């Protein structure tokens, strides 16, 4: 797998790290559970990073396969001609030096793709011929590198876009910068080169065909998964305990926004909506923004300043992104999770929140229209008018019976998604891509 611009080991919710990071890591683990040997290549952003990080697998008896426990056994599993039945191979994450050791802006990364491709090819040169069976690239930058590697190794290229420039440019927030023409051209090249294209939703599949001219026969819809065990509903007393542990008020409605603070994710719409509620004399919930700046280092400070101008500075609480193990606690502490995104290819936060039994109020865009069952697991809001968002939030929060019904519906909606099912479908896509033309 290739994830050039962001490592699956990075903390989602800030910089360029988001749902794609979770997608790559969880999918890799689910594929390994099925006996696939998965190696992930990402750009090294620090000289302190190890060349390779080994994510432990298990042997046929379910015992951990960890380099800190049994180096020889791990090497045997990783180099064997065939993986033994019942064995889960470790997942390898390789940090490839390409360009300066710093987090370059995504617009600067095309300049280091040649170096990234050379680094990836060097890894294969150390393997026996035919070691890799398929290249799966994530995001268009990885697709550029993947096309070179797949051609050199004579294996198929499978590509997942995650976001598409033409879609983002059609739904820009006021004042936001459009994606550059170089990205549009790069995406068109990858779509043309890939042997198989993986779309997260039927809507994205249609966009690939209609906006990029993709061959419909090469487009496969594979819905991402959600960790249904980690994100699960809890009783009311545990929800109250979650609030206490996070220092949130027990007697006030809480709306949670979890994601990068950037124009694309539109947390400003929620701040403006709170301003509308205050101006019209209605109860103002506490908005918790769980995320860091993306695109501009000042994004969080700008959002906090907007809250002061809107007269709701006392109702907006910004906290840094939460580690994966802590994220369920934040979901359980919320009455509603809000996603006013301008564009969203899938919307993993919505799936996770619903799995935790939390209703979602989301913009009726992209993959959110697939995840959120409007009127059953939450509400889909058309447009980004703060007055409309204020009305929807007020109506939902005021009706506790409706919230409880949404909570039950949310879990049912989330149970459609699972990483096991996603991995099974991806293996079928890989097999199709490998079939002779």
Using DSSP, state whether 196 is helix, strand or coil.
Answer: strand
Is residue 21 marked as binding?
yes
Is residue 23 marked as binding?
no
Is residue 430 marked as binding?
no
| DSSP code per residue over 26-93 | HHHHHHHHTT---EEEEE---TTS-SEEEE-EE-TTS-EE-TTT-HHHHHHHHHSSSPPTT-BPPEEE
- Give residues with Cβ within 8 angstroms of 28, minimum separation 6: 1, 8, 38, 40, 55, 91
In 3D space, the residue among 3, 22, 4 whose CA is nearest the CA of residue 321 turns out to be 22
Is residue 169 marked as binding?
no
Residue 278: CB atoms within 10 Å: 17
Is residue 139 marked as binding?
yes
Is residue 344 marked as binding?
yes
CA angle (246, 247, 251) in 5-degree steps: 115
Is residue 59 marked as binding?
no
- Give residues with Cβ within 8 angstroms of 79, minimum separation 6: none
Is residue 149 marked as binding?
no
Is residue 334 marked as binding?
yes
CA distance 24 to 395: 37
Is residue 5 marked as binding?
yes
* Radius of gyration for the alpha carbons in the chain, expressed in angstroms and rounded: 22
Is residue 394 marked as binding?
no
CA distance 72 to 380: 53
Is residue 168 marked as binding?
no
Residue 329: CB atoms within 10 Å: 18
Is residue 106 marked as binding?
yes
Is residue 17 marked as binding?
yes
Is residue 354 marked as binding?
no
Is residue 260 marked as binding?
yes
Spatial strand order in the sheet of 91-96: 39-43, 91-96, 52-55
**Per the annotation, where are the binding residues?**
5, 11-12, 16-21, 106, 139, 163, 183, 260, 265, 331-332, 334, 344, 352
Binding residues for UDP-N-acetyl-alpha-D-glucosamine: 11-12, 19, 260, 265, 344, 352
Which residues sit in the known binding site for Mg(2+)?
331-332, 334
Annotated binding site for 1D-myo-inositol 3-phosphate: 5, 16-21, 106, 139, 163, 183
């Amino acid at each position: 797998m290739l994830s050039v611009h962001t490592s699956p080991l990075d903390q989602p919710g800030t910089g360029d790290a988001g749902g794609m990071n979770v997608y790559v890591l969880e999918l890799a683990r689910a594929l390994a559970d099925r006996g696939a040997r998965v190696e992930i290549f990402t750009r090294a952003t620090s000289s302190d990073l190890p060349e390779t990080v080994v994510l432990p697998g298990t042997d046929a008896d379910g015992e951990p396969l960890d380099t800190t426990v049994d180096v020889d056994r791990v090497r045997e599993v990783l180099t064997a001609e065939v993986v033994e039945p019942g064995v889960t191979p470790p997942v390898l994450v390789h940090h490839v030096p390409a360009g300066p050791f710093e987090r370059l802006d995504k617009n600067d990364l095309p300049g280091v793709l040649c170096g990234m491709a050379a680094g990836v090819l060097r890894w294969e040169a150390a393997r026996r011929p035919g070691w890799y069976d398929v290249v799966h690239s994530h995001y268009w930058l990885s697709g550029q590198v993947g096309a070179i590697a797949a051609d050199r190794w004579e294996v198929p290229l499978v590509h997942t876009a995650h976001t598409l420039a033409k879609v983002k440019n059609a739904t820009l927030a006021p004042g936001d910068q459009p994606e550059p023409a170089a990205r549009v051209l790069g995406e068109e090249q990858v779509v043309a080169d890939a042997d198989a294209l993986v779309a997260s939703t039927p809507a994205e599949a249609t966009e690939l065909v209609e906006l990029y001219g993709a061959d419909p026969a090469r487009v496969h819809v594979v819905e991402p998964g959600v960790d249904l065990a980690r994100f699960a509903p809890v009783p009311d007393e545990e929800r109250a305990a979650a609030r206490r542990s996070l220092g949130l008020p027990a007697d006030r409605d809480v709306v949670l926004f979890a994601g990068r603070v950037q124009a694309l994710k539109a947390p400003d719409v929620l701040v403006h909506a709170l301003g509308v509620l205050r101006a019209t004399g209605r109860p103002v919930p506490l908005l918790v923004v769980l995320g860091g700046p993306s695109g501009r280092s000042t994004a969080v400070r700008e959002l906090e300043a907007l809250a002061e101008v809107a007269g709701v500075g006392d109702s907006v609480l910004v906290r840094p992104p939460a580690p994966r193990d802590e994220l369920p606690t934040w979901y359980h502490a919320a009455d509603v999770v809000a996603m006013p995104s301008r564009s969203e290819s899938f919307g993993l936060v919505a799936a996770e929140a619903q799995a935790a039994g939390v209703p979602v109020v989301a913009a009726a865009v992209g993959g959110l229209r697939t995840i959120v069952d409007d009127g059953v697991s939450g509400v889909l809001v058309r447009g980004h008018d703060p007055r409309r968002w204020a009305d929807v939030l007020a109506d939902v929060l005021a009706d506790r019976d409706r919230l409880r019904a949404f909570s039950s519906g949310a879990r049912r909606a989330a149970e459609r998604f699972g990483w096991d099912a996603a991995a099974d479908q991806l293996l079928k896509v890989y097999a199709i891509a490998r079939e002779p033309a």
